[in-house]
């Protein structure tokens, strides 16, 4: 009796399988229509609710999921007009193969001036509400820790590759934008032993080969980011490859900056002030002042690093910002400053469109953000104001 029952079950299963296969082959979807009565779910988590005027709006991040066979399609019923300021609503439709349909409305605000907050994913910073000081610092660390890491140099996607994407000149896709030097320079003039002939340019009446390499804004020796066995690097991830403080820079200027501390060399209290090109200065025994246009960028990169690397498992280093740090170039202490100058630069050099877009590009690869670009008012809640450090 049991054998006969099993035979009947097997025959029934085979018949159903054949019917489903024929149904799918013919495209009639009779089985789906009989079984599936639930509309697909529309996913808008990656959509932005604030958008810059005259820029294409990305609908491609909208997706849907179906409970029956995961087959569904998304359709935009009325696109927004990105040339008009103010709030606009568009309708999204999702349908599955059984004919079930769901529709939702999504509202977008078209704004005139770019704002870092427009790129923040929904709920990303919810856990920091009402916090300040060390509690805020710890909560931000929890949010941005555990990012996706890429190797410094590799045959697959590495830091070289990503800087060519993140810092590409929007007016010339063959070039990258150099950070301290304010140059748009050929991607192919990447630091190499055999640079192409077109990497030459005239500098003060003489032809020089100009190459770019990878600058650590928080110098890698200030915390000893690499783990070595003898002269061989065995681990160089984490802070060493974190794109939020890595920038392309002309090789000579990178060497000049070296691991100097950041300092305002033109405030009247510094010695041995020297202009080293492109609006950058060195002073005192071992200090560096970047050009005005990136001073705030530098500050916000260092604020990020001091929050992200707290000496927890996997960090390798606990980074801290201090006032009047020891600028000894041989010191490997994980300290950077000068904090009062960084705080002032943050206020005097507001966040630029380039900085905002760079933060967003890094997020698409590392899956973490620089909170001080998204929400600049967080800075004084942790470190105070520059006048707090006046002796």
Model pLDDT, residue 321: 97
pLDDT grade for 379, boundaries at 50, 70 and 90: very high
Confidence of residue 381 (pLDDT cuts 50, 70, 90): very high
User: Band of the pLDDT at 315, cuts 50, 70, 90?
Assistant: confident
In contact, 327 and 260? CB cutoff 8 Å:
yes
What are the chain's domains?
Answer: 41-113 (2.60.40.10), 120-168+216-389 (no CATH)
pLDDT of residue 227: 67
Per-residue pLDDT at 172: 97
Please give the mean pLDDT across all residues of the chain: 88
Q: State the pLDDT at residue 118.
A: 85
Contact 312, 146 (CB under 8 A): no
pLDDT, tens digit, 9 for 90 and up, residues 87-139: 999 999 999 888 899 999 999 998 887 788 889 998 999 999 999 999 999 99
Q: Give the Cα separation of 195 and 193 in Å (integer).
A: 6
Beta strand 287-289 with 261-262: parallel, antiparallel or unpaired? parallel
Question: pLDDT tens across 244-300, in order?
Answer: 999 999 999 999 999 999 999 998 889 999 999 999 999 999 999 999 999 999 999
pTM to 2 decimals?
0.78
Mean pLDDT of 312-336: 90
Beta bridge mates, 107: 89
The more confident residue out of 180 and 232 is 180
Query: What does the H/E/C string look like for the chain?
Result: CHHHHHHHHHHHHHHHHHHHHHHHHHCCCHHHHHHCCCCCEEECCCCCCEEECCCCCCCCCCEEECCCCCCEEEEECCCCCCCCCEEEEEEEEEEECCCCEEEEEEEEEEECCCCHHHHCCCCCCHHHCCCCHHHHHHHHHHHHCCCCCCCCCCCCCCHHHHHHHHCEECCEEEEEECCCCCCEEEHHHECCCCCCHHHEEEECCEEEECCEEEEECCCCCCCCCCEEECCEEEECCHHHCCHHHEEEEEHHHHHHHCCCEECCCCCCCCCCCEEEECCEEEECCCEEECCHHHHHHHHHHHHHHHHHCECCCCCCCECEECCCCCCCCCCCCCEECCHHHHHHHHHHCCCCHHHHHHHHHHHHHHCCCCHHHHCCCHHHHHHCCHHHHCC
């Amino acid at each position: 009796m049991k054998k006969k029952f099993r035979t009947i079950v097997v025959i029934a299963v085979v018949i159903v399988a054949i019917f489903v296969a024929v149904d799918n082959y013919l495209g009639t979807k009779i089985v789906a229509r009989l079984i599936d009565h639930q509309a697909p779910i529309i996913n808008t988590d990656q959509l932005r609710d604030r958008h810059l005027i005259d820029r294409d709006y990305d609908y491609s991040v909208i997706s849907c999921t179906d409970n029956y066979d995961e087959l569904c399609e998304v359709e935009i019923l009325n696109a927004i007009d990105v040339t008009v300021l103010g709030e606009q609503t568009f309708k999204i439709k999702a349908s599955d193969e059984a004919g079930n349909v769901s529709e939702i409305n999504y509202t977008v605000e078209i704004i005139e001036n770019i704002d870092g907050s427009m790129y923040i994913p929904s709920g990303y910073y919810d856990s920091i509400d009402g916090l300040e000081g060390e509690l805020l610092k710890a909560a931000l660390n929890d949010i941005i820790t555990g990012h996706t890491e890429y190797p410094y140099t590799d045959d697959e996607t590495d830091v070289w590759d990503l800087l060519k994407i993140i810092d590409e000149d929007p007016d010339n896709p063959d070039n990258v934008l150099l950070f301290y030097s304010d140059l748009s320079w050929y991607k192919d003039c990447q630091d190499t032993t055999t640079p192409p002939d077109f990497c030459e340019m005239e500098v003060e009446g003489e032809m020089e080969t100009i190459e770019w390499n990878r600058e650590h804004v928080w110098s890698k020796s200030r915390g000893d980011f690499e783990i070595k066995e003898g002269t061989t690097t065995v681990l160089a991830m984490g802070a060493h490859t974190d794109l939020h403080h890595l920038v392309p820079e002309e090789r000579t200027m990178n060497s000049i900056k070296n691991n100097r501390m950041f300092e305002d060399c033109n405030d009247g209290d510094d010695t041995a002030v020297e202009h080293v090109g492109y609006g950058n200065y060195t002073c005192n025994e071992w200090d560096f002042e970047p050009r005005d246009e990136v001073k705030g960028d530098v500050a916000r990169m260092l604020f990020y690093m001091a929050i992200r690397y707290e000496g927890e498992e996997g960090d390798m280093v606990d980074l801290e910002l201090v006032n009047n740090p020891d600028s000894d170039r041989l010191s490997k202490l994980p300290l950077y400053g000068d904090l009062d100058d960084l705080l002032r630069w943050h206020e005097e050099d507001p966040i630029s469109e380039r900085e905002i877009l760079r933060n967003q590009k890094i997020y698409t690869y590392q899956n973490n953000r620089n909170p001080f670009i998204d929400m600049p008012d967080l800075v004084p809640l942790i470190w105070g104001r520059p006048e707090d450090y006046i002796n």
